[in-house]
Chains A and B, each alone.
Chain A
Amino acid sequence: MEFKDYYKTLGVDKTADDAAIKKAYRKLARKYHPDVSKERDAETRMKEINEAREVLSDVEKRAAYDSLGSGHQGGENFNPPPGWDAGYEFSGRGGGGGSGRGPEDFSDFFSSIFGNAGRRDGNSRRSAQSMQGEDHHAKVVIDLADAYTGSARVITLRAAKLDDAGRVVNEERTLNVKIPKGVKAGQHIRLAGQGSAGFGGGAAGDLFLEMNFTADQRYRVDGRDVTQIVPITPWEAMLGAAIEVETPSGHVQVKVPSNSQTSRKLRLKGRGIPGVSPGDLYLELTVVLPSADTDKSRELYAAMAREMDFNPRQMPGTPAGTP
Chain B
Amino acid sequence: MTSYNPISGVLIDDVALTIDELARACAVERTWIRQHVEDGFLSCTVMLLVEDANDEPHWKFASRELVRARKLIAFERDFDANPELAALLVDLLEEIAELKRRL
Interface residues of A (CB under 8 A from B): 26, 29-30, 33, 35-36, 46, 50, 96-102, 121, 132, 134-135, 137, 152, 173-178, 180, 182-184, 186-192, 194, 205-210, 220-222
**B63 in contact with A176 (CB, 8 Å):** no
**What number of B residues sit within 8 Å (CB to CB) of A?**
38
**Smallest beta-carbon distance B9→chain A, Å:** 4
Determine the residue in chain A with the shortest Cβ distance to B25. Answer: A135
Cross-chain contact of B77 among A100, A173, A182, A208 (Cβ < 8 A): A100
**Smallest beta-carbon distance A159→chain B, Å:** 11
From known contacts A101-B27, A208-B66, infer whether A180 and B3 are also in contact, taking CB-CB under 8 Å.
Answer: no
The 8 closest A-B pairs by CB, nearest first: A97-B32, A100-B73, A178-B6, A189-B9, A188-B12, A191-B9, A152-B6, A97-B28
Contacts of A187 in B (CB 8 A): 11-13, 63
Scan B1-38; emit 1 where CB is below 8 A from any A CB, else 0.
11111111111110000000000111111011000000
Complex alpha-carbon distance, A30 and B75, angstroms = 10
Contacts of B89 in A (CB 8 A): 35-36
**A98 in contact with B29 (CB, 8 Å):** yes
Determine the residue in chain A with the shortest Cβ distance to B75. Answer: A35
**B32 in contact with A33 (CB, 8 Å):** no
- Residues 61-103 of B at the A interface (beta carbon under 8 Å): 63-64, 66-67, 70-71, 73-79, 89, 93, 101-102
Determine the residue in chain B with the shortest Cβ distance to A185. Answer: B101
**A186 in contact with B3 (CB, 8 Å):** no
